[in-house]
């Protein structure tokens, strides 16, 4: 006989301490009361993203949503589940949630850099995305979603990048960022030599006319490739471009000087599969 899953607990008071993880999220990606300088739990929105969280290595702390949405999830019986009407939910989190359900999870530390570069099999083909000063969490989430869809094995971030586990990044990635290992490259751009030593061809994306056509980069001849992407607007710094082995541009119609970084990332990931 299969044991019944406990029904979600009803929350009627927006000040209920049991849903503190979700309080006043509009003010930032940390719940109210989180000490300055500390990152709060990972916050995930929407049924598909919460389902990906449940399948990920992240430990789920709590789930909170409107009636019906929480009950629709296949939750382990050790995950606290709470429900409230949409007005109480909105008052707790600070905005109207159209996705109907949220979850919180403990953060995990970044992956070990050496392990991420090597991968499970140091001899196997491998693709990485390397991000410089990408400080927009939504762009980061979009890049993570494309990375998972198009065969990227991990993210490398320079020290100025946004947190890939911010709520907005997780939301835009539809939870896929939770399945993508990431590490920080502390020395930038000198740390790119770590990739070269591990056998990666580093490809810096730039719209510069003297860059090679991206389609000329032979992915089969370079089974380990890392695509470098800069922030929206300024793009990669000259220092990062010089440190890369190849500078490549996406061919575009005359009169268009560049693409948004998330779109450029998806094209590069697909081209270099």
Q: What's the rounded mean pLDDT across residues 67-83?
A: 93
> Is pLDDT above 70 for 11?
yes
In the beta sheet, which residues pair with residue 246? 203
User: What is the CA angle 88-89-90, rounded to 5?
Assistant: 90
- Sheet architecture: strand order including 42-45: 9-10, 81-83, 60-65, 101-105, 42-45
Q: How far apart (Å, rounded) are the C-alpha atoms in residues 82 and 95?
A: 18
26's tokens = 């509009």
**Span 113-271: which CATH code?**
3.40.1280.10
223's tokens = 């089974």
pLDDT band at 63; cut points 50, 70, 90: very high
pLDDT band at 194; cut points 50, 70, 90: very high
Q: Return all residues near 174 (Cβ < 8 A) that are at least 6 apart.
A: 46, 48, 49, 52, 145
> Is pLDDT above 60 for 30?
no
Class of domain 9-105: alpha beta
The 10s digit of each residue's pLDDT in 134-148 is 999 999 999 999 999
The mean-pLDDT minimum among 10-19, 20-29, 190-199, 263-272 falls in: 20-29
Q: What's the rounded mean pLDDT across residues 168-186?
A: 96
Query: Quick count: other Cβ atoms within 10 Å of Cβ 254?
Result: 5
Rounded to two decimals, the pTM is 0.92
Q: What's the rounded mean pLDDT across residues 28-43?
A: 66
> Is pLDDT above 60 for 3?
no
**Domains of the chain, residue spans:** 9-105, 113-271
Q: How far apart (Å, rounded) are the C-alpha atoms in residues 156 and 130?
A: 5
228's tokens = 């470098």
Q: What's the rounded mean pLDDT across residues 208-222?
A: 94
In the beta sheet, which residues pair with residue 44? 103
Q: How far apart (Å, rounded) are the C-alpha atoms in residues 129 and 272?
A: 11
Q: What's the rounded mean pLDDT across residues 45-58?
A: 96
The predicted pLDDT at position 258 comes to 80
């Amino acid at each position: 006989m299969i044991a019944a899953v406990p029904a979600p607990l009803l929350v009627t008071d927006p000040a209920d301490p049991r849903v503190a993880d979700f309080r006043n999220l509009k003010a930032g990606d940390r719940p109210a009361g989180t000490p300055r300088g500390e990152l709060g739990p990972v916050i995930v929105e929407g049924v598909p993203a919460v389902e990906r969280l449940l399948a990920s290595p992240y430990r789920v702390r709590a789930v909170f949503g409107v009636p019906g949405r929480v009950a629709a999830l296949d939750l382990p019986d050790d995950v606290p589940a709470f429900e409230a009407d949409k007005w109480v939910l909105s008052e707790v989190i600070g905005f109207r949630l159209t996705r109907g359900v949220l979850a919180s999870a403990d953060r995990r530390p970044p992956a070990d850099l050496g392990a991420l570069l090597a991968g499970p099999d140091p001899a196997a083909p491998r693709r990485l995305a390397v991000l410089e000063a990408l400080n927009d969490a939504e762009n980061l989430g979009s890049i993570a979603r494309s990375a998972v869809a198009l065969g990227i094995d991990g993210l490398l971030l320079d020290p100025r990048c946004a947190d890939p586990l911010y709520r907005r990044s997780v939301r835009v990635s539809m939870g896929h960022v939770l399945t993508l290992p990431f590490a920080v490259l502390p020395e930038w751009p000198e740390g790119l030599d770590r990739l070269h030593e591990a056998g990666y061809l580093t490809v810096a994306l730039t719209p510069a006319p003297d860059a090679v056509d991206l389609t000329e980069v032979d992915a089969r001849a370079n089974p380990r490739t890392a695509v470098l992407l800069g922030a929206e607007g300024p793009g990669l710094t000259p220092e990062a471009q010089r440190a890369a082995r190849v500078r490549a541009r996406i061919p575009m119609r005359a009169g268009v000087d560049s693409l948004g970084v998330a779109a450029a990332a998806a094209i590069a990931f697909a081209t270099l599969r």
